[in-house]
């Protein structure tokens, strides 16, 4: 079993409601349900009886809850106690990064850190930004790279990169010869999106604030898949300007958006782990590479 599964089990036990527990943990309800089911399968028992309007702990769950709470507290105590004995050039650090972070040089920067610190064990988790924030809050990772999300309790944020979105269309699209497209025009365009990404939230928020509703043509997950569908001519896609620079050799055009939809990329550091020597070294290394002033702290 995984530590985060026990944390999720504790949250559901406290809330007796998957929706409220998912909100408390800041994760998708579907992800929470899957992890609880996996825990039940591994233990070979049902932990909750699920009724149409209620959730009830089983006898097994009532026996498990004090054990789970004890394990979580003991693991956290182990990390806190041992952190003072870990040198900056050894030990381990758990880092989270969003899909597409390579377009911002993040994977290259992490590789450079590893080359300079070969004895540091580096554990990398790739997930969407909202999930990374949940992992940080639950102390499952020490540092995370994410976009836009900056007001997170117990997390110190550092601004490392600024970017904006562009609109990708096929080179024979009616607007392909233009330099820019307005939000009003964008709202009428069939769009291919990744609904789990922060870019999708950026699109929805920008159009909503301008009084428009997007025309979602197709939902998919990977940027390469999105652009593949754009290339086939069934719609356009909003992607990071940084990412677009890697796709200039195919039959696409990238239009600016007026007014711009800006994006900020942050490095979030869990405050309770921020003084660990290896974490401090990693953060300082990244800030030297990106040479950005420290952003507001939360």
* Residue that is last in its domain, among 83, 115, 139: 83
Dump pLDDT digits (tens) for 40-65: 999 999 999 988 888 999 999 999 99
Whether residues 242 and 270 share a domain: the answer is yes
**Quick one: average pLDDT of 256-285?**
92
Which of 108-116's residues contact partners 24+ apart within 8 Å by CB, and which partners? 109/285, 109/286, 109/289, 109/290, 112/285, 112/289, 113/282, 113/285, 113/286, 116/285
* Residue that is last in its domain, among 83, 106, 129: 83
Q: What's the CA gap between 285 and 228, in Å, rounded?
A: 36
* For residue 263, cis peptide bond before it (omega within 30 degrees of 0): no
Q: What pLDDT shows up at residue 298?
A: 39
Whether residues 45 and 64 share a domain: the answer is yes
Token pair of 22, please? 């998912």
Whether residues 125 and 42 share a domain: the answer is no
Q: What's the CA gap between 290 and 229, in Å, rounded?
A: 33
Whether residues 12 and 142 share a domain: the answer is no
The closest alpha carbon to 270, from 132, 81, 130, belongs to 132
Number of Cβ within a 10 Å radius of residue 246 = 15
Whether residues 154 and 253 share a domain: the answer is yes
Q: What's the CA gap between 210 and 17, in Å, rounded?
A: 36
The closest alpha carbon to 11, from 157, 23, 180, belongs to 23
* Residue that is last in its domain, among 83, 113, 146: 83
Give the chain's length.
Answer: 298
Question: Which helix (H) or strand (E) covers residue 76, if one does?
Answer: helix 59-83
Whether residues 52 and 111 share a domain: the answer is no
Whether residues 182 and 125 share a domain: the answer is yes
In DSSP terms, 159 is beta-bridged to 266
Whether residues 110 and 256 share a domain: the answer is yes
Structural domain that includes position 27: 3-83
- How close are the terminal C-alpha atoms of the chain, in Å? 32
Residue 178, domain CATH = 3.40.190.290
Residue 38, domain CATH = 1.10.10.10
Whether residues 61 and 167 share a domain: the answer is no
- As a whole number, the mean pLDDT across the chain is 89
Q: What pLDDT shows up at residue 78?
A: 83
CB-based contacts of 238, cutoff 8 Å, min separation 6: 165, 166, 167, 168, 186, 191, 193, 199, 202, 203, 257, 261
Q: What pLDDT shows up at residue 151?
A: 74
User: In terms of pTM, does the model score above 0.75?
Assistant: no
Whether residues 284 and 202 share a domain: the answer is yes
The closest alpha carbon to 269, from 139, 160, 155, belongs to 155
Q: What pLDDT shows up at residue 77?
A: 80
CB-based contacts of 230, cutoff 8 Å, min separation 6: 168, 169, 170, 192, 236, 237, 252
| DSSP character at residue 229 | H
Whether residues 117 and 93 share a domain: the answer is yes
Give the total number of structural domains in the chain. 2
Dump pLDDT digits (tens) for 101-159: 999 999 999 999 999 999 888 999 999 898 999 999 888 999 999 987 767 888 999 99
Q: What is the DSSP string of 11-73?
A: HHHHHS-HHHHHHHHTS-HHHHHHHHHHHHHHHTS--EEE-SS-EEE-HHHHHHHHHHHHHHH
Dump pLDDT digits (tens) for 176-225: 999 999 999 999 999 999 888 889 999 999 999 999 998 998 988 888 89
| DSSP character at residue 272 | G
Whether residues 153 and 266 share a domain: the answer is yes
Q: What pLDDT shows up at residue 10?
A: 95
Number of Cβ within a 10 Å radius of residue 127 = 19
């Amino acid at each position: 079993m995984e530590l985060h599964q026990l944390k999720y089990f504790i949250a559901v036990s406290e809330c007796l409601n998957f929706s409220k527990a998912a909100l408390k943990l800041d994760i998708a309800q579907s992800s929470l349900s899957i992890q609880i089911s996996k825990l039940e399968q591994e233990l070979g028992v049902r932990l909750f009886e699920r009724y149409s309007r209620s959730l009830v702990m089983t006898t097994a769950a009532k026996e498990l809850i004090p054990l789970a709470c004890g394990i979580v507290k003991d693991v956290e105590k182990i990390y806190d106690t041992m952190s003072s004995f870990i040198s900056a050039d050894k030990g381990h650090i758990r880092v989270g990064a969003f899909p597409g972070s390579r377009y911002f040089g993040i994977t290259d920067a992490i590789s450079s850190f590893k080359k300079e610190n070969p004895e540091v064990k580096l554990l990398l988790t790739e997930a969407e930004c909202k999930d990374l924030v949940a992992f940080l809050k639950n102390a499952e990772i020490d540092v995370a790279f994410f976009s836009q999300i900056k007001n997170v309790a117990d997390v110190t944020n550092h601004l490392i990169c600024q970017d904006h979105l562009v609109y990708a269309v096929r080179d024979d699209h009616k607007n392909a010869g233009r330099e820019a497209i307005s939000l009003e025009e964008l709202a009428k365009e069939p769009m291919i999106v990744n609904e789990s990404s922060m870019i999708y939230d950026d699109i929805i928020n920008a159009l909503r604030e301008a009084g428009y509703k997007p025309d979602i043509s197709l939902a998919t997950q990977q940027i390469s898949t999105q652009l593949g569908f754009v290339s086939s001519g069934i719609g356009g896609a909003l992607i990071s300007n940084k990412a677009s620079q890697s796709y200039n050799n195919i039959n696409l055009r990238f239009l600016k958006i007026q007014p711009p939809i800006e994006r900020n990329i942050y490095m979030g550091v869990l405050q309770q782990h921020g003084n660990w020597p290896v974490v401090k070294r990693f953060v300082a290394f990244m800030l030297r590479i990106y040479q950005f002033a420290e952003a507001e702290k939360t």
